[in-house]
A and B are shown apart, each in its own frame.
Chain A
C-alpha cells in the first residue's frame, strides 16, 4: 500500500488518452469493433462539451428518473449496529437512496446517458447484457421511452432466478434472449452481447451496464453514474456541514461504487470501502471477489483483476446476488485498489442475507441483495468508528426482485 505522501495530486485524471487506468483498462477488442469504439469516444467527447446534451440528461434525470434521490439518515440501523460497541463507538449510517430511482436501481442513470449517445450517433437498435436484470429493465425502459428496438442477453441461469425482471423487460417491449453457453450467467451474456454487436455494428449500440468493457465505456459509465456521488456530497454537506468519513458500496462490475466514490476521490479525509461478493467464502472457488481472489488479465475488452486459473481460463463466479456474479471488476477499481486509495473487502451470501433482513426490520426498507453486501460491511465497520463519524453507503437497488431468492435461501415457500 502506498503511503499517503506518494499519492498523485488528483485521482480524477484517469484514464489516459488510451483508456488506461495505470496498467488496467484499455481497448482489447476485435478489429471489427475498434472503429466503432473510436467513433464512440469521439462522440462522447463531443457530447461532454455540448451543453444541450447535459441539459437533456439533467432533464430526464429529474423528471423521468426522479433525481435527486434522497439522502437518508438510518437512525434505527445506526442504533442497532451500535449495540455491543464500546462506549462512544458506532458511526452514524446514512444511505444514498438510489433504490428509489425509476426502475429500482442506479442502472437507469447510465442507461439514460448511453441512449442519448446512441441517438446522437444515429444508431437505431439497442443491445445490452444483464445479470440480475436491473440493467436489462433500465435499458428496456429507456428503449421504450425513445422508441428503439431492444435485445437483452441474459444467462439462462439468471433468467430462471430473476423471472420478475424477465417479465418486466418483456412488458417494456424488449426481446430477452437466454444465453445457454458457459456458466449461463452475466459473463456469458456479455460474450453474447459482443457477438451480436460485432455482427451488427452498422446500426447497433451496445449499452454496457457496468463501468467495465473497452474504453471509453468505463469512463463514460463512471461519468454518468457520478451523479450519485455529486448529489450525495452536496446533500451531506448541506445537512451536516461535514464530509463523510467512509463511503461504502457493493461491487460486481463496480458502477454504483465508482459513481459514489469518484466525486470524493480528491477529498483526503474521506475513506472508501468497496464490498465484493464472497459467496460461500473466499477459501473455496464459490465466490465472485475478483480483487480478493483474482489476478490481472484481459476479458471483455479491458485489463483488470479476473477470477481465473493459472492458464488464464476464466473461472465461474458465484454469488447469491446475480448482479455481483461476475468474474471481473471495472478497471478503475483495479487501479484504485493497487494505488491504495480505496479499500476493498467482501461479504458472504450468509452475511448479505443477515444484512438484508436487518435493514428490513430496522428501517422498513427492502434492499436488493447487491447493496445488502454493502450493508453487511457497514454493520461491521460502524462498530469500529466513533459515534460522531459518518458512514455514507449507496443503497443502489431495491429488493422486490430478490424476494423469491431470499425466501428460498431462508427455507420459506411463497
Chain B
C-alpha cells in the first residue's frame, strides 16, 4: 500500500476522505480548493477526473463535470493540478477518481506513468470492475499506485473475494445502490456491511455515497476506517465558484471535528 495512504488510515481516528472535481470551476481554481480540504482536516484527497459521460454520478457531480470541461480542463491540466498539490503537500495522499475512457485514451502505461510522476497514490476507476482489471491494474501496480476497489450493497459474500483480490490502498464501500449524492443508507445497514467487510479484509474500509452532515459522518466514523464526502463539497464549489475555499474549509472542518470526537466517545 502507498505509504501515504497507510499513514492516513493509521491515525487514531477515522480518515476523512474528500472529493472534488478537477478543473471545477476552472483548472486554476482547483489548487486553492484542495488546500482548503487539507486545511479543514481532510486526510485523503480524491481528485475527480471530469468526463463527458459520468454515468455513475448524480446531478451535483454531473454538473461539476460539465463546468470543468466547459472551462477547458484537459488531462494535462488534471495531472498538473496533482503534481502541484504533491509539491505543496508532500504527505497528504492523493487519489484520482474517474472513468475508464479518459484514463485509457493514451494507453494504460502512459496513464500509470503520468499519474506516478504526478505523485498520485491511488486510482479509483468507476467502470473497471475486477473482471476487467487487466485493462489498467497491472500498469498501476507496477508503479506502486494502489488500484482502489469499490464494494456495494450488491457485492455478496460469494463475490467479495474477487473484489478484494488485487485491491489495495483501501476498500471504498458504496453504501447505497445508486448514483452519487442522492440518498443516504440507513445507518444500521452500513454498520452491518462494514462489519462484514472488515471480517474479510485487512484493508481499511471507507464508506461513501450520500454523506452530508457532520452527524452522519460521525456515525459512520464510529464503525468504519474512513468517511467519504463528495457531492456536498462539490455543491459548495458550485455555489461559491472561485470563492469556494473559505466555505469548503469551514464545512470540511465541521466534518473532521465530528469524526474525531465521535470515535473518541465510542472508544
Give the CA-CA distance A306 to B53 in the complex, in Å.
12
Which one of A18, A188, A195 lies within 8 Å of B56 (CB-CB)?
A195
Which one of B132, B154, B177, B179 lies within 8 Å of A26 (CB-CB)?
B132
Interface string of B156-167 (1 = CB under 8 A from A): 100100010000
Complex interface: stretch among B96-104, B215-223, B235-243, B256-264: B96-104
- Output the least CB separation between A224 and chain B (Å): 24
Which residues 285-312 of A sit at the B interface, judged by CB distance below 8 A?
295, 297-301, 303, 306, 308, 310-312
- Output the least CB separation between B114 and chain A (Å): 12
Complex interface: stretch among A32-40, A82-90, A349-357: A32-40
Query: Does B174 lie within 8 Å of A308, measured CB to CB?
Result: no
- Cβ-based interface call for A282 (8 A): no
Interface string of A1-37 (1 = CB under 8 A from B): 0000000000000000010000000111111111110
Interface string of B35-66 (1 = CB under 8 A from A): 00000000000000001111110100010001
Query: Does A311 lie within 8 Å of B151, measured CB to CB?
Result: no
Instruction: Tell me the dominant secondary structure on chain B's binding face.
Output: loop
- Cβ-based interface call for A147 (8 A): no
Q: How many residues of B contact A (CB 8 A)?
A: 43
Interface string of A374-407 (1 = CB under 8 A from B): 0000000000000000000000000000000000
Query: Does B53 lie within 8 Å of A314, measured CB to CB?
Result: yes
Give the CA-CA distance A27 to B162 in the complex, in Å.
15
Complex interface: stretch among B121-129, B198-206, B244-252: B121-129
- Cβ-based interface call for B178 (8 A): yes
Q: Which B residues are in CB contact (< 8 Å) with A182?
A: 52-53
- Cβ-based interface call for B152 (8 A): yes
Give the CA-CA distance A182 to B52 in the complex, in Å.
7
Query: Does A194 lie within 8 Å of B55, measured CB to CB?
Result: yes
Query: Does B132 lie within 8 Å of A30, measured CB to CB?
Result: no
Which one of A28, A200, A308 lies within 8 Å of B105 (CB-CB)?
A308
Evaluate whether A201 and B154 lie within 8 angstroms (CB atoms) in the complex, with A31-B174, A298-B104 already known. Answer: yes
Q: Which B residues are in CB contact (< 8 Å) with A308?
A: 101, 105
Query: Does B75 lie within 8 Å of A311, measured CB to CB?
Result: yes
Interface string of B111-153 (1 = CB under 8 A from A): 0000000000000001111011001000000000000011111
Give the CA-CA distance A300 to B100 in the complex, in Å.
10
Which one of B54, B101, B128, B163 lies within 8 Å of A312 (CB-CB)?
B101
Evaluate whether A314 and B52 lie within 8 angstroms (CB atoms) in the complex, with A195-B179, A198-B179 already known. Answer: yes
Q: Which B residues are in CB contact (< 8 Å) with A240?
A: none
Interface string of A304-331 (1 = CB under 8 A from B): 0010101111100000000000000000
Q: Which B residues are in CB contact (< 8 Å) with A314?
A: 51-53, 101
Give the CA-CA distance A242 to B51 in the complex, in Å.
50
Name the residue on A nearest B150 (C-beta). A31
- Cβ-based interface call for A199 (8 A): yes
Name the residue on B nearest A32 (C-beta). B152
- Output the least CB separation between B205 and chain A (Å): 14
Which one of B129, B163, B174, B179 lies within 8 Å of A29 (CB-CB)?
B129
Give the CA-CA distance A33 to B55 in the complex, in Å.
12
Give the CA-CA distance A182 to B54 in the complex, in Å.
10
Q: Which A residues are in CB contact (< 8 Å) with B177?
A: 32, 198-202
- Output the least CB separation between A110 and chain B (Å): 21
Give the CA-CA distance A115 to B264 in the complex, in Å.
53
Instruction: Tell me the dominant secondary structure on chain A's binding face.
Output: mixed
Query: Does A195 lie within 8 Å of B55, measured CB to CB?
Result: yes
Give the CA-CA distance A377 to B102 in the complex, in Å.
34
Query: Does B127 lie within 8 Å of A191, measured CB to CB?
Result: no
Which one of A36, A188, A194, A303 lies within 8 Å of B154 (CB-CB)?
A36
Name the residue on A nearest B58 (C-beta). A195
Considering residues A26, A30, A295, which has the most beta carbons from chain B within 10 angstroms of its beta carbon? A30
- Cβ-based interface call for B155 (8 A): yes
Evaluate whether A311 and B132 lie within 8 angstroms (CB atoms) in the complex, with A31-B152, A301-B127 already known. Answer: no
Give the CA-CA distance A370 to B176 in the complex, in Å.
40
- Cβ-based interface call for A124 (8 A): no
Query: Does A312 lie within 8 Å of B55, measured CB to CB?
Result: no
Q: Which A residues are in CB contact (< 8 Å) with B94?
A: none
- Cβ-based interface call for A109 (8 A): no
- Output the least CB separation between B154 and chain A (Å): 5
Q: Which B residues are in CB contact (< 8 Å) with A36?
A: 154
Which one of A28, A29, A34 lies within 8 Å of B159 (CB-CB)?
A34
Q: Which B residues are in CB contact (< 8 Å) with A188?
A: 53
- Cβ-based interface call for A256 (8 A): no
- Output the least CB separation between B234 and chain A (Å): 16
- Cβ-based interface call for B86 (8 A): no
- Output the least CB separation between B206 and chain A (Å): 14
Name the residue on A nearest B73 (C-beta). A311
Name the residue on B nearest A38 (C-beta). B159
Name the residue on A nearest B78 (C-beta). A311
- Cβ-based interface call for B74 (8 A): yes
Query: Does A191 lie within 8 Å of B55, measured CB to CB?
Result: yes
- Cβ-based interface call for A269 (8 A): no
Query: Does B101 lie within 8 Å of A300, measured CB to CB?
Result: no
Give the CA-CA distance A187 to B102 in the complex, in Å.
17
Q: Which B residues are in CB contact (< 8 Å) with A297?
A: 101, 104-105
- Cβ-based interface call for A181 (8 A): yes
- Cβ-based interface call for B69 (8 A): yes
| New A-B pairs, 19, CB < 8 Å, besides A31-B129, A295-B105 | A28-B135, A30-B55, A30-B127, A30-B150, A31-B150, A32-B154, A32-B174, A35-B155, A181-B66, A187-B53, A298-B100, A299-B101, A306-B101, A312-B101, A312-B102, A312-B103, A312-B104, A314-B51, A314-B101
Q: Which residues of B contact A (CB under 8 A)?
A: 51-56, 58, 62, 66, 69, 74-75, 99-106, 126-129, 131-132, 135, 149-156, 159, 163, 174, 176-179, 182
Query: Could you jot down 25 A-B contacts, CB within 8 Å?
Result: A26-B132, A27-B129, A28-B100, A28-B135, A30-B127, A32-B154, A32-B177, A32-B178, A34-B159, A35-B155, A182-B53, A187-B53, A198-B177, A199-B178, A199-B182, A201-B177, A295-B105, A298-B127, A298-B135, A299-B53, A299-B101, A303-B135, A312-B102, A313-B52, A314-B101
Q: Which residues of A contact B (CB under 8 A)?
A: 18, 26-36, 181-182, 187-188, 190-191, 194-195, 198-202, 295, 297-301, 303, 306, 308, 310-314
